[in-house]
Structure 1
């Protein structure tokens, strides 16, 4: 129901609501690094907890003003009391969203709106949630009309209704629009590239919370108001508003607007220029606290009739108006909350906003994905070799298959072909060292059939050509003996080669000498993303290399002497295609028992002499030992590193150094666009 009121009516909740924290944040922590394998501890291991009851997302309730009991509605909990249905078509989505009874609607596919601009008219008591990162609404969005209430829109990507006109006055194609709705929670969505705005809260809509969303690449981000009545109560927190020109948000005649822990970013050097950031209009009373503004023009503005009270905000490289004045209100009179530190906001939001792999995965989906194969050398498993288990995975398997490998040393070659996606190879021991897959081929090793040598890529102990592959809690090694094979030409010896997309390497060791870890793509024009976390990589020459878009995060890179005892080497050799992202090393440590100033961070590999490539390595927020040279980049095969993309940002340790022409550093603005989330795009790695 909707009503016009001269004053908003509230009843303070008796207790604070518990709000789920994103998986990426709960798993994050400060790692203390040591040397070699002592960093995480001998027995350190990350494990994924299987849900034994209804997943937390299925019973989640809103915080902020959406949690307040008012207008006959006790908080916002969506379709929790109804059936859970999974939809993959527009017809089914519209059927359940417009039904009169409550539903939890899990969107498990990309749904294209027809016609473009279509807005589904959602009715009350609905939760519309993306299944992991697979729920995309393309070319349209949702409309909540007068009196619609108790609606959750969560974990979706809503995108691409743009009609080619930047400030589009003719196409009102929003991601989410509400006219006179109440008790609405918009959470953990990725909203971008729509024809008009991304979110509109209009015509006395109230008791709304907007949290943990990424709003980007649009002329108008977020409009609130279009009413003469001072009614709307809204909480806007932990949103990353990036590359949007106006309405960030614009708040007109809101009774109570509480904005905190948001990150507003205008990236330097792009065609999108912010005209203003947070705007308090009409009779709005706004409290703006602990938010971070980067590069914004007119970051905070107000009408003479409006109020803005600012607390604890940070402004970096902003210009123009930054205003405050009037009186606000105390949000804790309505709900409990604890803001994060302002300095933490950019990193917190870059890793935490948008769809989560841990949200929207139903119990039935988990059951379907629960296929497990066991491998044991002693015969106690279903298979005695890892490759035999891979061979048993059905071609084009639709769901996750976990190959659990018991402790032992498996001297074999393993290949996961492209027609076997969704495979996890997981050691079951208490340590990564307990389960080892090892072989000793090199590029110059003759093939047994006499057809030549293996070549660099063919030397891999484990080769992954299937998408959505995961490996965890094991060691993958190539122990080719260079000293004993000096007669062989071609000592490149790969331990792990990936040539696919969405590869998650979690808590593993990859060890070798030259060319240890080959991060490739299926073809030059194909995207191949790799995320490596909480792991070790050991090698000496070009031992992290290839053309993939790869992130090495929170890991240890251990430098190793050459076969003859000398210290000299190169950490990375990217061969990135133009307009793609290359290798990102973040929040990690580079160390090892080698001589000081003997290793380069990288050099450009123009594979086959291909001048069209644009190799990239960024090393940021990483501790560098004294082994790193004071000029950490160098040329390769006639190609200058200075013509490609090599940079550092905020590194520390004895191997770090000041910016110079020989040691480029990213600016703060450049670094804001080279975060882990920028590399991974619409993919959120999660354990499964």
Structure 2
């Protein structure tokens, strides 16, 4: 008798896509920078009692995995703690070599200049806002070397080991955060991201081992791109491993995320509200959509999208006032064979995520 590999999850059989409205209720390393700060950490917001899984401040997922010569993601831990209150200070600190914990105090405007408003962050940095009022306005953060299509394996100087937390980033003339060119071990956590001209958090061109957690995305169109384009398999196939959890997609229209080529993307415990589509899997990407809550989302999950088909397994999700079911296809690897985590029940997500996501919550 043939026995299935328990580390591989098959797609559950489900109804074909249809136009009728669907309401479905399916049954149910802590490495943060807070301890490194010279100033007291902001007060934490109390979460509903339904919260039962991993600690809100814990780093969970691919950013915590030991790989590529990096033991998890520690950012600037062990380096100087500095505070930026001006544009000049901030741009100086993020460009310095070596480990730094960079505290952002107040509202800092990032210039457009000749970089279309994108400003490079070097390896081994923690960038963390102080309180609920820390903001970067008018520009975005670039994590990665300059684009080079001829580079198809991770270079020795790939940007790595970066933490971005507790920041409002808004009004960028390009991306709010861009991760590219084989950058790895990145943790983007507890931020408020809105009103960028392109992506909110784009991860592409061979980047790997990233966690995007407890962020609020709003007033934004193309939110999360994972994978550059359909012709970029030479850099992307086998990479782009990302965990998205406990994010609040608060009316962010599309790409929540839109994925190409990744062998495994884990999308769990996210709250989707009023989006045109949630998750799209293409180019043989493997996505586990787990214990998410979708409210008023036209297409919660798609594998028949633009370009070659992807793979999607769904379990424990709740869909309310959605026009289509989650499309499923193929198998994916069980994330628990790679890293530990504990998912909240989907029924508690509408209370937990808005209360805990965004700034001023850590």
Q: TM-score range by the shorter chain?
A: 0.7 to 0.9
Equivalent residue number for residue 43 of structure 1: none
Post-superposition shift, 1:197? 1.3
2:74–2:162 contact (8 Å) kept in structure 1: yes
Equivalent residue number for residue 275 of structure 1: 276
Q: Are 1:98 and 2:95 an aligned pair?
A: yes
Post-superposition shift, 1:356? 2.0
2:112–2:118 contact (8 Å) kept in structure 1: no
Q: TM-score, normalised by structure 2?
A: 0.78
Post-superposition shift, 1:298? 1.1
Q: TM-score, normalised by structure 1?
A: 0.42
Equivalent residue number for residue 248 of structure 2: 240
Q: Are 1:114 and 2:111 an aligned pair?
A: yes
Equivalent residue number for residue 344 of structure 1: 348
Q: Partners in 1 of 2:343 and 2:79 — Cα distance?
A: 33
1:121–1:142 contact (8 Å) kept in structure 2: yes
Residue 114 of structure 1 aligns to a residue whose secondary structure is: coil
Residue 298 of structure 2 aligns to a residue whose secondary structure is: coil
5 Å matches for 1:9-20? Answer: 17-18=29-30
1:247–1:279 contact (8 Å) kept in structure 2: yes
Pick aligned residue for 2:70 from 73, 76, 88 = 73
5 Å matches for 1:19-168? Answer: 23-25=44-46, 28-29=48-49, 62-115=59-112, 117-146=116-145, 147-161=158-172
2:246–2:268 contact (8 Å) kept in structure 1: yes
- Unmatched tracts of structure 2, length 5 or more: 1-28, 35-42, 146-157
1:297–1:321 contact (8 Å) kept in structure 2: no
Q: Partners in 2 of 1:349 and 1:245 — Cα distance?
A: 18
Q: Partners in 2 of 1:213 and 1:244 — Cα distance?
A: 12
Equivalent residue number for residue 264 of structure 1: 272
1:19–1:63 contact (8 Å) kept in structure 2: no
1:243–1:265 contact (8 Å) kept in structure 2: yes
Equivalent residue number for residue 219 of structure 2: 217
Q: Are 1:296 and 2:297 an aligned pair?
A: yes
Q: Partners in 1 of 2:287 and 2:62 — Cα distance?
A: 13
1:62–1:77 contact (8 Å) kept in structure 2: no
Question: RMSD in angstroms over aligned alpha carbons?
Answer: 2.1
Residue 255 of structure 1 aligns to a residue whose secondary structure is: coil
1:61–1:77 contact (8 Å) kept in structure 2: no
Q: Partners in 2 of 1:92 and 1:345 — Cα distance?
A: 39
Change (3 A) 1:305 1:115: closer
Aligned length: 297
Q: Partners in 1 of 2:353 and 2:325 — Cα distance?
A: 25
Q: Partners in 1 of 2:351 and 2:159 — Cα distance?
A: 35
Q: Partners in 2 of 1:239 and 1:214 — Cα distance?
A: 6
Equivalent residue number for residue 327 of structure 2: 323
Q: Partners in 1 of 2:264 and 2:180 — Cα distance?
A: 18
Residue 316 of structure 1 aligns to a residue whose secondary structure is: strand
Q: Partners in 2 of 1:235 and 1:221 — Cα distance?
A: 15
Q: Are 1:200 and 2:202 an aligned pair?
A: yes
1:595-639 Cα deviation digits (max 9, x unpaired): xxxxxxxxxxxxxxxxxxxxxxxxxxxxxxxxxxxxxxxxxxxxx
Post-superposition shift, 1:61? 6.6
Q: Partners in 2 of 1:293 and 1:213 — Cα distance?
A: 16
Structure of larger gyration radius: 1
Q: Partners in 2 of 1:245 and 1:29 — Cα distance?
A: 30
Q: Partners in 2 of 1:322 and 1:255 — Cα distance?
A: 19
Post-superposition shift, 1:275? 3.2
5 Å matches for 1:212-611? Answer: 212-226=214-228, 227-228=232-233, 229-230=236-237, 231-266=239-274, 274-303=275-304, 305-320=309-324, 322-356=326-360, 359=362
Runs of 4+ in 1 over 4 A off after TM superposition: 19-22
1:189–1:213 contact (8 Å) kept in structure 2: yes
Post-superposition shift, 1:18? 3.7
Residue 347 of structure 2 aligns to a residue whose secondary structure is: helix
- Unmatched tracts of structure 1, length 5 or more: 1-16, 31-55, 162-170, 267-273, 360-688
5 Å matches for 1:168-187? Answer: 173-180=174-181, 181-187=183-189
Q: Partners in 1 of 2:326 and 2:288 — Cα distance?
A: 14
Residue 131 of structure 2 aligns to a residue whose secondary structure is: coil
